[in-house]
Amino acid sequence: MNAVVAAVGIMLILSLCRVHVVVALIAGAIAGGVLGGLGLEGSLAAFNKGLGGGATVALSYALLGAFAVAIGKSGLAHALADRALAMVGKQESHGGGAVKWMMIGLLLAVAVSSQNILPIHIAFIPLLVPPLLYVLSRLQIDRRLIACVLAFGLVTPYMFLPVGFGSIFLNEILLANVAKSGADIEGINVSQAMLIPAIGMLAGLLIAMFSYRKPRTYDLATVDQSKVVSVSYSPLTLLVAALAVAAAFVVQLWLDSMILGALVGFVIFSVSGVVRWKEADDLFTEGMKMMAMIGFIMIAAAGFAEVMRETGEVKTLVDASTQWIGNSKAVGALMMLLVGLLVTIGIGSSFSTVPIIAAIFVPLGLELGFSPLAIVSLVGTAGALGDAGSPASDSTLGPTAGLNADGQHNHIWDTVVPTFLHYNLPLLAFGWFAAMTL
């Protein structure tokens, strides 16, 4: 059996059996490495080598967590939650329908903005979502729908809009690696190449709104209502919060560093007095703890990815797929997308997947007669596939971090499985259609 297939299969089976994702990633990586011929020692060496690749991301998330806790201390999210709770009380006699869609629209808008307008990625989720859990529970909104809404906002903007994280993915990673692998990208509009797959994501979101339209009951007694009512805030603290967010945004764009951006934002809170100096250390530690699990999973995923690279089995997997392809563009496009889905689910990051698959897919696509625009669409879609449905992806870990604050939202069955079904399946269909028509 191909080592990549075995490694991803073991990781997914263990995750579905509720084994912790970090343990599942380690077990899958070691098993895949041994099957790929690295041996136990070689597998461990490759895994350890890859751990450093996730350290920067993990530290960024830890600091963003501290920044998020400081914003929470300012009362910004709680002010929003208080306003929403008041609106729920007024409209409960009418079913609260308007407030429900306002909440969904708000979370969608913030998620989309977190990728380009204010590129803080998933750090807004532990800040904004827990204070709203009581409101969401009162409205009986299915949290699986919220997970799908957040995943859409975290993935679609970077795979279509060349701003913020989208600029990094589309220009610096996707186009750069396609060109490096031998395709002529002159005159290619990368947003045009990814338009049809992005429409697939939109279709998945609309389907999710239908799938999870029915009310779902949650235990209000277990929701930490103190997150909504206990934090005091004033116009001054809200103004400081706005200033800190703006400063973090400017620093991130100026120095291209989420770490420094989050640090500057936290310092502003400390200097202004919103976060008292004697409380700063505890709050900083609390924020880092909040994002620690995500950081460790991202580090483990980097080790997993390095083992897969060292085995060389991704190329073997593609070579085996070519036996099914023959000269058929239709079969070739489908097989490339399926391989991309498999690799991304294992690695958990489309940003890390594209450099791996571009070197193999671009020559294969040129040989089958795909246009450069279609190849860009194929590689981009293959890279994005699985990002919203991987147990190790920040696009699933982030929503779970917020929605499970009261212990009523399971990572695998309430986030991973719903996002996999509603986004990866439409992406396969729309990505295949894009490759055949561009």
SS (H, E, C) the chain: CCHHHHHHHHHHHHHHCCCCHHHHHHHHHHHHHHHCCCHHHHHHHHHHHHHHHHHHHHHHHHHHHHHHHHHHHHCHHHHHHHHHHHHHHHHHHHCCHHHHHHHHHHHHHHHHHCCCCCCCHHHHHHHHHHHHHHHHHHCCCCHHHHHHHHHHHHHHHHHHCCCCHHHHHHHHHHHHHHHHCCCCCCCCCHHHHHHHHHHHHHHHHHHHHHHCCCCCCCCHHHCCCHHHHCCCCCHHHHHHHHHHHHHHHHHHHHHCCHHHHHHHHHHHHHHHCCCCHHHHHHHHHHHHHHHHHHHHHHHHHHHHHHHHHHHCHHHHHHHHHHHHHCCCHHHHHHHHHHHHHHHHHHHCCHHHHHHHHHHHHHHHHHHHCCCHHHHHHHHHHHHHCCCCCCCCCHHHHHHHHHHCCCCCCCHHHHHHHHHHHHHHHHHHHHHHHHHHHC
Query: What pLDDT is stored for residue 111 in this prediction?
Result: 87
Query: What pLDDT is stored for residue 39 in this prediction?
Result: 87
Work out whether the CA dihedral 162, 148, 287, 21 comes out positive or negative.
negative
For residues 92-113, give the mean pLDDT.
77
For residues 253-257, give the mean pLDDT.
72
181/426: higher pLDDT? 426
Work out whether the CA dihedral 298, 300, 305, 309 comes out positive or negative.
positive
The Cβ of residue 106 has, within 10 Å, a number of other Cβ atoms equal to 15
For residues 323-336, give the mean pLDDT.
79
Number of domains in the chain: 1
80/376: higher pLDDT? 376
352/411: higher pLDDT? 411
Categorize the per-residue pLDDT at 335 as very low, low, confident or very high, splitting at 50, 70 and 90.
Answer: confident
For residues 55-61, give the mean pLDDT.
70
Work out whether the CA dihedral 406, 407, 408, 413 comes out positive or negative.
positive
Categorize the per-residue pLDDT at 199 as very low, low, confident or very high, splitting at 50, 70 and 90.
Answer: very high
For 345-383, how does the pLDDT look when each residue is reduced to its tens digit (9 = 90+)?
766 667 767 777 777 788 778 878 888 899 999 989 988
pLDDT higher than 80, residue 413: yes
Phi, psi of 219 (to 5 degrees): -75, 105
pLDDT higher than 80, residue 434: yes
Query: What pLDDT is stored for residue 200 in this prediction?
Result: 94
The Cβ of residue 231 has, within 10 Å, a number of other Cβ atoms equal to 19
Query: What pLDDT is stored for residue 130 in this prediction?
Result: 81
Q: Which residues, in sequence order, are CB contacts of 234 under 8 Å at separation 6+?
A: 75
For residues 146-158, give the mean pLDDT.
92
Both tokens of 245, joined, read: 């967010």
Query: What pLDDT is stored for residue 226 in this prediction?
Result: 41
For residues 87-113, give the mean pLDDT.
74
Lowest mean pLDDT among 240-249, 256-265, 287-296: 287-296
For 171-186, how does the pLDDT look when each residue is reduced to its tens digit (9 = 90+)?
877 888 788 777 788 8
- Per the CB < 8 A criterion, the answer to whether 313 and 354 are in contact is no
For 264-304, how does the pLDDT look when each residue is reduced to its tens digit (9 = 90+)?
888 888 888 777 777 777 777 777 776 666 677 767 777 87
Enter the pTM of the model: 0.75
For residues 12-26, give the mean pLDDT.
78
For residues 33-58, give the mean pLDDT.
81
5-14, 298-307, 426-435: which is most confident: 426-435
Q: Which domain holds residue 377?
A: 3-437
- Per the CB < 8 A criterion, the answer to whether 175 and 190 are in contact is yes
